[in-house]
Amino acid sequence: MQGRTELAPRTRTDVHTLESVALAATHKAALASQAWVGRHDKKAADGVATEAMREVLAGAPGRGTVVIGEGEKDEAPMLYNGESVGNGLGPDFDIAVDPLEGTSFCAKNLPGAMATIAFAESGTLWSPGPGFYMDKIVVPPPAKGVVDLADSPERTLANVAGALGKKVGELRVVIMDKPRHQDLIARVLRAGAAVHTPAEGDVGGSLEVLLPTGDADLLLGVGGTPEGVMTAAAVRGLGGDMLGRLAPQRAEEAEAIRAAGMDLDRIYTCDELVSGDALFAATGVTSGSLLSRPRETDGAVVAESLLISRGQVRRVAHTTFGSCPGTISVPS
């Protein structure tokens, strides 16, 4: 038919072509956060990290959809769920962001704050809808396939220990230090395992489990659902295992989940949370066991990142000439 214009089909996403964009986004967010390290204002720190990350993503090749964003829980004005970013000149892709993982760590200048992001093939990131919290298990590759959220903590510990060739007493378990975890922590300790209880940051805790250089054997407990999907991108990239189940913390959240037609009893596998090829990147904001904070050396600022892509982990040092933002910008 004359006069009709046929639109070219969207090309399949090779998310690994976006590695440099992912690293640039976390790098800029980490540098922007430096002015707020130790200033006890986590909302301001998160805000500048989000704005900096969004500036980079605006120029990303292609069209990205923020599936896991700052979201309703954080009352975010940008990088919210459903926002479209990128220059449109390329394929579609999905994005998960946490511009400042560990906002309290940054605000109080404690170890472990990071800027994080994940990219995945278009339509492959699971959207949690109104579900803010998720019960999770994360294990390293040797323990893949041996865990089940229906199991007791004691059985889980025994199964993971067997897969890793360890005794239960040799296991190191990450469980966030929250009132909801008091019984879980007590049971794990009674079983004989050691427990690391960070105040927040279950993405960082999961990386401790997944990375060969990490200092943990498994992660248990309830954390943020967005962080769960972010973690799943890293799990998929490294060949570990993860299971998740929605765990609403308030009646209103549970009611909203049911109204959305979602099953509170369903257990999601890693491949359901991220069903396509993905990559994960993080840059240190405050120094921790995984990454160092940006530091000044001979007139340049060096930031440390890690990239999980194509089944490999790469550590990347970014060098920016000039002073670190945290040393020249004092918020009024």
Give the per-residue SS3 of the chain. Answer: CCCCCCCCCCCCCCHHHHHHHHHHHHHHHHHHHHHHCCCCCHHHHHHHHHHHHHHHHHCCCCEEEEEECCCHHHCCCCCCCCCEECCCCCCEEEEEEEEEECHHHHHCCCCCCEEEEEEEECCCECCCCCCCEEEEEEECHHHCCCCCCCCCHHHHHHHHHHHHCCCHHHCEEECCCCHHHHHHHHHHHHHCCEEECCCCCHHHHHHHHHCCCCCCCEEEEEEEHHHHHHHHHHHHHHCCEEEEEECCCCHHHHHHHHHCCCCCCCCEEHHHHECCCEEEEEEECCCCCCCCCCEEECCEEEEEEEEEECCEEEEEEEEEECCCHHHHCCCC
| Highest CATH level, class, for 133-273 | alpha beta
Instruction: Give the domain ranges of the chain.
Output: 15-122+279-328, 133-273
Architecture field, domain 15-122+279-328: 2-Layer Sandwich (3.30)
pLDDT in tens, the chain (332 residues): 344 334 344 455 688 899 999 999 999 999 999 999 999 999 999 999 999 999 999 999 999 999 999 765 445 568 888 999 999 998 899 999 999 999 999 999 999 999 999 999 999 999 999 999 999 999 999 999 999 999 999 999 999 999 999 999 999 999 999 999 999 999 999 999 999 999 998 999 999 999 989 999 999 999 999 999 999 999 999 999 999 999 999 999 999 999 999 999 999 999 999 999 999 999 999 999 999 999 988 888 999 999 999 889 999 998 887 655 543 333 32
